[in-house]
Amino acid sequence: MSDNVMYDSPTEFLHDVAGAGACVAQSVIPRDEGGYVCACSCERWEVVATSREEGLRLAREHTGSSAE
Ligand SMILES: [Zn+2]
């Protein structure tokens, strides 16, 4: 095997460094057509909330941190 076995591509390497799908950051972004798009750094979660407050609540539910 070559020394390239750890990472198939630079992209995969960067993704791994970023947390490899970990829920380290969530975003709540207003849409032009109304509502707020909520997304997570894990790239497995994306929902549309009716308000920024709801979006933040959903984000906390997603990450499982009910504290605060
Ligand atoms: Zn997540």
- pLDDT tens digit string along 13-66? 555 545 557 888 899 999 999 999 999 999 899 999 999 999 999 999 999 864
CA 40 to ligand 1 centroid distance, Å: 5
Name the residue with higher pLDDT: 10 or 25.
Answer: 25
pLDDT at position 68: 45
Per-residue pLDDT at 9 exceeds 60: no
pLDDT at position 3: 58
Name the residue with higher pLDDT: 42 or 9.
Answer: 42
CA 67 to ligand 1 centroid distance, Å: 17
Query: Does this model's pTM top 0.85?
Result: no
Q: Are 59 and 51 in contact (CB under 8 A)?
A: no
Among 23, 20, 2, which residue's Cα sits nearest to residue 11? 20
Give the separation between CA 2 and CA 49, rounded to whole angstroms. 47
How buried is 23 (Cβ within 10 angstroms: 0-12 exposed, 13-18 middle, 19+ buried)? middle
